[in-house]
Amino acid sequence: MSTNPLASLRDEWSGKAAETAIRLGVLAILLVWCFQILQPFILPFLWAVIIAVAIYPLYVSLVNVLQGRTAIAAALITVGFLVILMVPTVMLTKHLVANVAALADGIRQGRIEIPPPPDAVRAWPLIGDAVANAWNLVLTNFVEALRLVEPQLKVLGLWLLSVAAKAGVGLLVFVAAFVIAGILLANSAQGHRLAYRVSRRLVGERGDKFADLAGATIRSVARGVLGVAVIQALLAGLGFMAAGVPGAGIWALLCLISAVVQIGVGPIVIPVVIYVFVTGDTVIAVVFLVWNALIMVLDNILKPLLIGRGVDVPMIVIFVGAIGGMLLSGIIGLFIGAIVLALGYKLFQAWLAAQPDGDEDTPVE
């Protein structure tokens, strides 16, 4: 009895196709399962990688000073950054949680109030009456506007409460990321080789250039944009607390967001300075004004020192990345979103500039 070659070939192909489908299905299930297990750790680990890459040059300098003691250098730099950053961060986070909780409770219960203008305002020469009348007008209209949007405000209040609840978690992620970054720095040689191997597997011979570009972009954005923003926000927040400004934590958070998206802290601190002049002691107000003036010009001093190659990213990219990251992952996402989108933008630019044969229209930075 003769065998049909076409039927035999079809049966063989069907068997191989079924076997391949089963293998792919099992692999897909395994990958999805692994992702679900690792998902809670992705954000802290990604933040840790960014921190490690950003402070790597400082780590190398410390290793040279300690004559090659990598573990001690990694421990010292991790503890040093935590000590420097944790005290003001914990203080501001505590104020932020209390301020946001109070604001959310006021919104939900419909008892947000704007204080009337102090009597001293009318005594100001030339502009006193005008400022007092404008203040009272805003006060009246604001109360009426709140009544119109009361249902939406209650939803906003619930969202603010969730933000306050996540602030403590964000602080734990912040600490965990620095600890993980220290471990990554201590094993930076292996991590360096792994990064280059992965980049070569992804883009071939140009992998080393892409890896170098990625590192330069992360360091530049992390130090020159996010680092400066954190310094300005922390200093502004400490000034708010020292001056007794209500809602100091919220104002500091707004300063952080405004600085990260490259608007600057000026639009936030200027109204607060005016408030302190109106309601506080004149000497305190003057000192507060000088303090905030220094903070506002601080980015013009620090950015040229901290920004290196690879950060010529349009402001809109940083803005969209920061806002999108914050909406997706909270405060930590504010930083990670800006860096990831900036990195994607730079790598996409480099990929577009590269020719199929490996040559490039323009040099990769």
Confidence (pTM): 0.70
Letter string b/e over residues 214-248, b meaning 16 or more CB atoms within 10 A of that residue's CB: bbbbbbbbbbbbbbbbbbbbbbbbbbbbebebebb
Q: Which amino acid is at 80?
A: G
Position 362 pLDDT exceeds 70: no
| pLDDT tens, residue by residue, 306-348 | 665 445 778 888 888 888 887 777 777 778 888 888 888 888 8
Q: Given pLDDT bands bounded at 50, 70 and 90, which one contains residue 1? A: very low
How many helices and strands in the chain, by DSSP H and E?
Answer: 13, 0
Task: Report DSSP state, residue 354.
Answer: B
Chain position carrying tokens 């950053």: 85
pLDDT for 364 equals 44
Comparing CA positions, the residue from 273, 305, 274, 271 lying closest to residue 291 is 273
- What is the spatial distance between Cα 122 and Cα 142, in angstroms, rounded to a whole number? 21
Helix, strand, or coil here: 193? helix
pLDDT for 365 equals 45
Position 107 pLDDT exceeds 60: no
